[in-house]
A = this chain, B = another copy of it.
Amino acid sequence: MYYDPVETMDRNKLEKLQLVRLKETIANAKATPFYAEQLADISPEDLTSIKDISRLPFTTKDDLRSQYPYGMLTRSLDDFVRLHASSGTTGTPTAVFYTQKDLDTWADLMARCMFACGCRKSDVLQNMSGYGLFTGGLGIHYGSERLGMLTVPAGAGNTKRQIKLIRDFNVSVLHIIPSFALYFAQKVQEEGFDVRDMPWQIALIGAEPHTEEARRKIEKMMHIKAYNSYGLSEMNGPGVAFECTYQNGMHVWEDSYIVEIINPKTGKHVEEGEIGELVMTTLTREGMPIIRYRTRDLTRFVPGQCQCGRTHRRIDRIAGRADDMMILKGVNIYPMQIEQCLMSMPEVGQNYLIELVTEGVTDQLKVKVEIKDEYFVEDMRVLQGLQKRIAKNLCNEILLTPRVELCQHDSIPKNEGKAVRVMDSRKK
């Protein structure tokens, strides 16, 4: 079962469709002040194959900033009905504008995503993320209504009310931020409910990168199937790529986006299957086309064909951000590597904190780790042994030995929103 026949389109046809749409996109983009200049020497007819995309220049976050607010628009402001802007009261934000047709396209893509992981018209979806300028809220909301699900716009926070709504309305699908999911599962238990009695079946978890281990933990603690989602406001928001029921990589909708993975230093395509920076081009956005956008997100193509029958390629879960990369003593470290390693150990609880500090003249990596109550024993030797094992496992992963500090369950502060995982207080 597919939401749209395009999902199983033969790849040759799909690439032909991409080429047609890429040409249209270039012609359309030339109506913007920014691309009129960037693409001055390029004519749509120059492209004879989808591979020719590598002849086009990249677009960066800084380009979007420099064009703020209206430099990326193909038409008069009158034709737009929505904008989302990055948060922040200082510095230059970025803004994304949508025509009514763009909102329709986005809602359809989002509905396609949710259908792919098993959501149906008869489901009830509770949207537990904040609304407002964050694209995750309204993005999921419009997609859910488009698919015909009964949509409960609960918004963020108020755990007790969330639980009541879920039980009262037999909510079968949750949209929930991964770092909140574990906290929520715990609260449900504290309120005296058994997660196995809750009506939910599917969790859509996106908005934050997380590891496979974190997903399995959410699935186990909530007694739910959790599906990973990928999106960014520059490419509409959520709805760019989504897992199907095989949970083995996220299908990118290639009729709407051209996806490339490049070496962030050289700008060249990496070998198939290698990790690199995701670069995306919109193919169906009329108001604000973006060409070869450097997402700064690190991922790889999942090799092979998916069992679900969809022909659109899959990307792996995000392995960190090019910007998040920490360099310590000459070693490149991604916070996701540390999370992945910690979450694979049964003794480790739900929360941890990575700290980068300067001691004397050298920088140090410290990792605070919450240990589950049942493993937090009084015998110091046992704890020291655990501490050493964690340090060793981390060293195997990141190639340097951090200072590990064990702490008790709930001793690292957490928010109902996104979790803070890294504190960098190094002296520059």
- Residue numbers of A with Cβ under 8 A of B are 68-69, 77-78, 80-85, 87-89, 93, 95, 97, 100, 103, 121-122, 124, 130-133, 137-138, 141, 144-145, 148-155, 158, 160-161, 164-165, 168-169
Contact = CB atoms under 8 A, between A and B. Distances in A.
B132 A81 contact: no
Contacts of A161: 87-89
Contact of A154 (B133, B158, B160): B133
26 contacts: A68-B168, A69-B169, A77-B124, A77-B150, A78-B121, A78-B148, A81-B144, A81-B148, A81-B149, A82-B145, A82-B150, A83-B151, A83-B152, A83-B169, A85-B152, A85-B165, A87-B161, A89-B161, A89-B164, A95-B168, A100-B148, A131-B132, A131-B155, A132-B153, A133-B153, A133-B154
Count identical subunits in the complex: 2
A132 B165 CA distance: 13
B153 A131 contact: yes
A360 B95 CA distance: 61
A137 B148 contact: no
A131 B121 contact: no
A141 B95 CA distance: 18
A80 B153 contact: no
A50 to B, nearest CB: 34
Contacts of A151: 81-83
Given A133-B155, A153-B132, A145 B100 contact: yes
A141 B149 CA distance: 20
A360 B287 CA distance: 69
The list of the 8 closest CB pairs from A to B, nearest first, reads A132-B155, A131-B131, A81-B145, A89-B160, A80-B150, A78-B122, A89-B161, A82-B151
